[in-house]
A and B are shown apart, each in its own frame.
Chain A
Amino acid sequence: MRFLVTIKKECLILLRDKAGLAILFVMPLLLITIMSLIQDAPFKDYKENKIPIVYVDNDKDSLGSIIKKGLINSGIFSVITEINEETASDESIKQAVAKGDFRLGIIIPEGATNTMNKNVENRVGKMLAGFGMGKKDSTVFQPDSIQLIILFDPAAKIAFRSSVSSALDKFITRTEMETMLRIFSQKLGEASGIKQEASIESRPLITLKEIQANDSKVAELLTNSVQHNVPAWAIFAMFYIVIPLASSMIKEREEGSALRLLLIPGSYMTSLYGKIFIYTAVCLIQFFLMMLVGIYFLPLLGLPAFEIGTNFIALMLMVIACALAATGYGFMVGSIFNSHHQAMVFGSVSVVILAAIGGVLVPVYVMPGIMQSISIISPLNWSLNGLNNVFLRQTNLSEILPDILRLTGFFVLMILLSVKFNQMKKYK
């Protein structure tokens, strides 16, 4: 009965704290909406979000047009040939990229096609001569180098530079190969006396096909900003319960109501357990509200709908474990600290650190090796890992059980530490 009375009291206090309710429910919803919108572009496929590239073709021959065509057909880039309604030149492209108007520019040098053809012809001629075909040329041929100039915005990240360079390298290699095959075919025809040029098929013989390692319906989902942000920030918001929970505990001590509970036999801990129950329930409500926002509201803003998966039992157990861990952490912070200021600063900073370590801000797999090793200590990492297993990998209960046990163990440890701290405070 005392437990139920405590729950009723906590509900009344929570419902009357309008600012607290806003922090608990409105702020997390705003957070996931804003984060999903902000991170939507980086998560989107390049096909949906093309990189503008300024292109100066001084070659005005086949190599220049093949590279241009290749860039357009790649779907990664949109090729721009004019700056301020004037045909881009070597100077204007340099200025535009340096100013940051464009992140990328390419200059194809004059006579590039001719030089390439000469180089390839010489190489093919030598090769055929080796087989006793064609004329043997004893002169030493010094190939001219062709330098395609790629201009990068100084602020462009290394990862962006290397991905662009690698894409361009692919087109150049392909063009070189095609030219070589064409000239080889011509020379071979001349040597064998066949005038007709052989047709060359340039379609790649080996292609890549990306498929998910798991063949379930949910696993075919491509990870997008909503699929990453909704669970990640939902977990972050759940752990942010440390602020209202610790604040409520410190307020009770400051207002004196905790003192009265200490005067009533056995009621102090019952009251604290009631608090744990209510705040765990708040975490669960927060989580499912955020899921609903992901499923129904974010699509209205042009974002993909959140896919919740189909294993609801595993999801429920996982969310309860996360909520318990978050509440336990808040309970411990509220027990250790004596002032609101201390609890607020420690609570918020520690949750941000645990979130960063745990992969909420940046996925764990892109972290340096040492941080990946450290990430396993964060309860937010266990939470995110377990929930992603449920949402994306459609795993069964036994596979998320280690995460559930870790989170529950963390909750028990936090409560035991809190009880110890409360006893130390009582009998000073």
Chain B
Amino acid sequence: MSIAISIENLVHRYKDAEQVAVNDITLEIKEGEIFGLLGPNGAGKTTTISILSSLIKPTQGKVSIHGFDLAQQSDESKKVIGVVPQEIALYPTLTSKENLDFFGSMYGIQKNNLKEKINHYLHIFGLENTGNKRVEQFSGGMKRRLNLIASLLHDPKVLILDEPTASVDVQSRNMIIEFLRELNKKGTTILYTSHYLEEAENLCTKIAIIDDGKIIIQGSPQQIIGSQPGFDNLENIFLRLTGKKLRD
């Protein structure tokens, strides 16, 4: 399998910050993997995702996505990734169809093709009857699903999701997880962050636990559980490795 995402000695320090947010991370995500990046609040997950999305420039290190070096070819890399941000990144006063039509057109998708895709995804995510309803009238779960659709319209090779199931009901969460599995079967590489460790254990083919900007363990869920004698689930291992101290 070829490499989808390559991160080498990645360091990021925010302006005026005392500590580095990402501290010398190196990892590889192969094509077709579902990679879970797990860690407590402030561990460096969102900063890593922001760097991969070309939203912020790293202080140090090299990142490439599908062979595109982010320092030189950020526009090319943006074309092959789809990013589902933690917050709902949609226009609340536009309808779901208007939002998808706008963002799809901004990706340069042809009108007819875009219309088909919008109808297809709205149907899959159970939003087909909400096409003319404004997003501000949606429930939290509906917004999350629409937020995901907006990142899929251009058929990305790599899908990066920052806590896609946060604050949604069990039904919506189940639908999103099932969809991600199906998408991965079709060849899409998925990088995913979550605080739901059981969900990550079931979904991911590979996991890295990050804390204080450093990767403290990585491998398949089975490898990680096997490497920690006396622990039989990811959540207990996570607490052992990252501690029980509350984080900001």
Contact = CB atoms under 8 A, between A and B. Distances in A.
Q: Do A and B come from one complex?
A: yes
Interface of A: 1-2, 5-6, 8-9, 12-13, 16-17, 255-257, 259-267, 270-271, 426-428
A267 B108 CA distance: 10
19 contacts: A2-B105, A9-B91, A12-B93, A12-B94, A255-B91, A255-B92, A256-B85, A257-B91, A260-B85, A260-B89, A260-B90, A262-B55, A263-B55, A263-B78, A264-B78, A265-B75, A266-B75, A267-B106, A271-B106
B94 A13 contact: yes
Given A5-B106, A256-B85, A13 B75 contact: no
> Interface majority SS on A: helix, strand, loop or mixed?
helix
> Interface majority SS on B: helix, strand, loop or mixed?
loop
A270 B12 CA distance: 29
B127 interface: no
B145 to A, nearest CB: 15
Interface in B87-102: 87-94, 98, 101-102
Contacts of B53: 263
B65 interface: no
A426 B103 CA distance: 20
A369 B76 CA distance: 58
Interface in B29-70: 53-57
Interface of B: 14-15, 53-57, 74-76, 78-79, 83, 85, 87-94, 98, 101-103, 105-108, 134, 150-151
A259 B85 contact: yes
Contacts of A426: 55-56
Contact of B103 (A12, A16, A264, A270): A264
Contact of B93 (A8, A13, A260, A264): A13
A20 to B, nearest CB: 10
B88 A428 contact: no
Contacts of A2: 105-106, 108
B71 to A, nearest CB: 12
Contacts of A260: 85, 89-90, 103, 150
Contacts of A428: 14-15, 56
B106 A259 contact: no
Given A1-B108, A270-B106, 12 more contacts: A5-B101, A5-B102, A5-B105, A6-B102, A6-B106, A256-B88, A259-B89, A263-B54, A263-B78, A264-B78, A271-B106, A428-B14
Nearest to B87: A256
B74 to A, nearest CB: 8
B89 A16 contact: no
Nearest to A13: B93
Nearest to A266: B75
Contact of B56 (A16, A270, A271, A427): A427
B93 A17 contact: yes
Contacts of A427: 56-57
A33 B136 CA distance: 36
Nearest to A261: B106
Contacts of B87: 256, 259
Nearest to B90: A257
Nearest to A4: B105
A6 B90 CA distance: 14
Contacts of A255: 88-92
Contacts of B57: 427
A427 B105 CA distance: 26
A416 to B, nearest CB: 21
Contacts of B101: 5
Contacts of B108: 1-2
A401 B35 CA distance: 62
B48 to A, nearest CB: 15
A323 B74 CA distance: 35
A410 B225 CA distance: 63
B106 A264 contact: yes
Contacts of A262: 55
A155 to B, nearest CB: 51
A428 B14 CA distance: 7
Nearest to A428: B15
A275 to B, nearest CB: 13
Contacts of A12: 93-94, 98
B117 to A, nearest CB: 15
Contact of A13 (B55, B91, B105): B91
Contacts of B88: 255-256
Contacts of B94: 9, 12-13
A263 B85 CA distance: 10
